[in-house]
Chains A and B, each alone.
Chain A
Amino acid sequence: QKEVEQNSGPLSVPEGAIASLNCTYSDRGSQSFFWYRQYSGKSPELIMFIYSNGDKEDGRFTAQLNKASQYVSLLIRDSQPSDSATYLCAVIGPGGFKTIFGAGTRLFVKA
């Protein structure tokens, strides 16, 4: 079992819709959870992080964490074509030592 799993997609949504990206992790002791966005040919850039159960909102983005289910998600409201990118879920494991990435989900927002 991979440590951090994401659906590779592609996920295609129309402009203005809500995009829902999901991530599961294997180590129950994982501490912090990050979402990075990576445009084609570019480096990952941080969107937001979450470390407590529940929802965290930042503009059009909402991260959701459920530690009991070992599940973290990212919702993008009012999706724009400029949101088209690969979204990487990253997890800091027990002890806070390593940041491990999932394979990423490719999102396409159709104008």
Chain B
Amino acid sequence: EAGVAQSPRYKIIEKRQSVAFWCNPISGHATLYWYQQILGQGPKLLIQFQNNGVVDDSQLPKDRFSAERLKGVDSTLKIQPAKLEDSAVYLCASSRGGQAAIRSYNSPLHFGNGTRLTVT
């Protein structure tokens, strides 16, 4: 099975510029996640989709970050305008998810290679 695809792998931008990341999950995976991982820290959930609906976006800085998942497959995460503290690796992950509802008790996450963002 093909893994989670992410692009680009690396991105360097200046503060106040905008940037977008793309993710294509594993085929058939209903749940898609965007995590932010700052160096030396664990991944922090930004947003979680079940199909094309948002399950959780409580830690997404909505004044500058936005995400969408069109048709319940691919997803894009955008930052506009970027700040220095946004420098991090942005990880996309997918999981099968639960039955019918949005529970994912025993669904492990499959991660893409991530996008390393540097804001100067």
Q: Which residues of A contact B (CB under 8 A)?
A: 4, 6, 8, 31-32, 34, 36, 42-46, 49, 51, 88, 90, 92, 95-104
Contacts and interface: CB of A to CB of B under 8 A. Distances in A.
B111 A43 contact: yes
B112 interface: yes
A104 B40 CA distance: 8
Contacts of B24: none
Which of under 10, 10 to 19, 20 to 34, or 35 or more describes the interface residues of B? Answer: 20 to 34
Contacts of B48: 97-98
Contact of B108 (A4, A8, A49): A49
Interface of B: 33, 35, 40-45, 48, 55-56, 91, 98, 102-106, 108-114
A32 to B, nearest CB: 5
A100 B116 CA distance: 21
Given A43-B91, A46-B108, A95 B103 contact: yes
